[in-house]
Amino acid sequence: MTVEPIKLTVDTVALAAQEGQLEIVLIRRKHDPFKTMWALPGGFLHEHDESVEQAAARVLLEETNVGDVYLEQLFTFGDKHRDPRARVVTVSYLALLRQDDLKLIASSDASGVAWWPVLDLPKLAFDHKRIIEYAHQRIKYKIEYSAAAFSLLPEKFTLRDLQSVYEAVLGRPVDNRNFRKKFLKLGVLQELDETTQQGSFRPAKLYRFDQKEFEQLPDRPVFSF
Amino acid sequence: MTVEPIKLTVDTVALAAQEGQLEIVLIRRKHDPFKTMWALPGGFLHEHDESVEQAAARVLLEETNVGDVYLEQLFTFGDKHRDPRARVVTVSYLALLRQDDLKLIASSDASGVAWWPVLDLPKLAFDHKRIIEYAHQRIKYKIEYSAAAFSLLPEKFTLRDLQSVYEAVLGRPVDNRNFRKKFLKLGVLQELDETTQQGSFRPAKLYRFDQKEFEQLPDRPVFSF
DNA sequence: CGAGACAAACGTTACAAATACGCTTATTAA
DNA sequence: TTAATAAGCGTATTTGTAACGTTTGTCTCG
């Protein structure tokens, strides 16, 4: 009896924080199985001259036109029947997109690529729902002890922007005053000489994330609110 | 041009805390490449009727005779040239062994299976050193917000035993009095009516881990010292 | 041009947790 | 009986968290 080789794929959960909620890039499948259903951007790892992570980056670029993003391996899903056709093991990744990156994505049903709120997903192909839940949990934890939030923001941002990212990811409101106090004390925010000008209210100071200062912090700094 | 399919393996970092230090099970390779070098217990995933995790459990049992242990996926290593022969991607696992399990392992060079201190490893095959470092980091973090320590202990243990596990994993001494105070306050230790009798000093009370109570704790309880 | 609305920004207090360290108790060996 | 040692108990100080009140700057509208 000849045994089919096990196939390897990569699938990426690409997240962004938009208007206070967490959103994910999904693509509409053009082929069976699960034709016309929504799924994670992903594909087979057939190239032999790239690492698994490079494959994830390549596939994400090919399918959604998003490149140069924060990318981190999540988990490898290898249940027996997760693909109805054959034995397929997938290595999943988490990508964090800045608001700048959003424009790159032609977000329309017609193009087959669209943003969906993580808390209100459509029916998904394969075990992709489970992969998204895993990613959601990961980013929730991660934002409390890493600089992940800054991968979801443009270079310059206000304290409100930063807080909105935390609220989007954690899925709950955060106390304004304690948030600001704690973050400023950490010393990882570089205050700029600029402010937001638009808007009909008081302009807010702009900040930049200070990578150097961040690296001075202890092993697992605590950004919990 | 015909392309070789990518092969999948599993490799397991099996740890135990012995006499205040963290140790790992390694096997001596019988075949090339890296013949006679030490390596992680692991092997190809060729069976089609098992999940990746089941494969890891099976291979660990086959190679070291250790079964029924805590097993958790770590990371999938997929660099291009991590195996000199072919394109091999490996899914790594962390196993935590109780002191009871240690006996199961015929620990001798002759049998090709041996315990090694994590802080003083031999030269290792493939990228296994990197995998062990990853596992070491993971258990260090994990022991501070999970019940991982209890997977390294027998059912009944003293507070000293528990502290020794923390010291072995963290690689540093921990304050005796604060450790005891904090753990007792958490309420996850069930005090038994037994004490240790042997030894030339004051007998210590025995405790049991209370899974039920542990589940009552918040999302990420803090066991840091 | 003054009042109202609103977000930005600053501050205080009470409580809980982490840290550092001193001391007492029960056991065995000599 | 006492010296040695680990087991076990207690207190003071510092640090961090959580909850909330207040002031400041800008725009809009009458």
Q: What residue in B sits closest to A141 (Cα-Cα)?
A: B220
CA of B178 to C1' of C20 (A): 9
- The mean per-residue pLDDT over the stretch B165-172 comes to 97
- pLDDT at residue number B200: 82
pLDDT band per the 50, 70, 90 thresholds, residue A106 = low
Query: Mind listing the pLDDT tens digit for each residue in B114-139?
Result: 999 999 999 999 999 999 999 999 99
CA of B202 to C1' of C25 (A): 9
Query: Mind listing the pLDDT tens digit for each residue in B57-80?
Result: 999 999 999 989 999 999 999 999
Q: Which of residues 180-209 of A touch strand D (CB under 7 A)?
A: 182, 199-203
- The mean per-residue pLDDT over the stretch A197-222 comes to 91
**Nucleotide nearest the Cα atom of B204 (by C1'):** D7
- pLDDT at residue number A100: 75
Mean pLDDT score of chain A:
93
One-character DSSP codes across B105-121: S--BTTTTEEEEETTS-
Q: What residue in B sits closest to A145 (Cα-Cα)?
A: B141
**Which position has the higher pLDDT, B197 or B163?**
B163
Residue B100 has pLDDT above 80, yes or no: no
* Separation between Cα atoms, residue A179 and residue A162, nearest integer Å: 10
pLDDT band per the 50, 70, 90 thresholds, residue A26 = very high
B178 touches strand D (CB under 7 A): yes
Residue B123: how many other CB atoms lie within 10 Å: 9
Name the residue among B51, B79, B80 with its Cβ closest to that of A79.
Answer: B51
Residue A85 has pLDDT above 60, yes or no: yes
Q: Which of B213, B207, B209, B211 is nearest to B192 (CA)?
A: B207
Residue A113's DSSP bridge partners are A27, A108
Residue A76 has pLDDT above 60, yes or no: yes
- pLDDT at residue number B84: 94
Confirm if B153 and B212 have CB atoms less than 8 A apart: no
Instruction: Please give the share of chain A, as a percent, with pLDDT higher than 90.
Output: 83
- pLDDT at residue number B5: 87
The size of the A-B interface in CB pairs under 8 A is 55
pLDDT band per the 50, 70, 90 thresholds, residue A19 = confident
Q: Which residue is nearest to nucleotide C6 (CA to C1')?
A: A201
Contact assignment for A91 to B73 by CB distance below 8 Å: no
- pLDDT at residue number A193: 94
Q: Which residue is nearest to nucleotide C10 (CA to C1')?
A: A177
CA of A197 to C1' of C2 (A): 24
- The mean per-residue pLDDT over the stretch A184-191 comes to 96
- pLDDT at residue number B2: 55
Contact assignment for B75 to A73 by CB distance below 8 Å: yes
Residue A108 has pLDDT above 60, yes or no: no
Which residues of A are less than 8 Å from B7 in CB distance?
Answer: 5
Q: Which of A5, A18, A37 is nearest to A99 (CA)?
A: A18
* Separation between Cα atoms, residue A203 and residue B218, nearest integer Å: 39
DSSP H helical ranges for B42-127: 52-64, 99-102
Nucleotides of chain C touched by protein CB (<7 A):
5-12, 17-22, 25-29
pLDDT band per the 50, 70, 90 thresholds, residue A110 = low
B181 touches strand D (CB under 7 A): yes
Q: Give B90→chain A minimum CA distance, Å.
A: 10
Query: Mind listing the pLDDT tens digit for each residue in B137-150?
Result: 999 999 999 999 99
Name the residue among B5, B8, B220 with its Cβ closest to that of A89.
Answer: B8
Which residues of B are less than 8 Å from A170 in CB distance?
Answer: none
Q: Touching check for A141 and chain B: CB below 8 Å? A: yes
Q: Which residue is nearest to nucleotide D28 (CA to C1')?
A: A200
Residue A94 has pLDDT above 80, yes or no: yes
Name the residue among B5, B49, B73 with its Cβ closest to that of A80.
Answer: B49
- The mean per-residue pLDDT over the stretch A83-93 comes to 96
Residue A11's DSSP bridge partners are A42, A92
* Separation between Cα atoms, residue A76 and residue B75, nearest integer Å: 8
Contact assignment for A76 to B46 by CB distance below 8 Å: no
Residue B110 has pLDDT above 70, yes or no: no
Residue B108 has pLDDT above 70, yes or no: no
Question: How far lies A55's CA from each of A46, A203, B79, in Å?
Answer: 9, 43, 11
CA of B201 to C1' of D4 (A): 9
Could you tell me the pTM of the whole model? Answer: 0.94
Mean pLDDT score of chain B:
93
- The mean per-residue pLDDT over the stretch B153-164 comes to 97
Question: How far lies A203's CA from each of A153, A181, A183, B190, in Å?
Answer: 18, 19, 19, 57
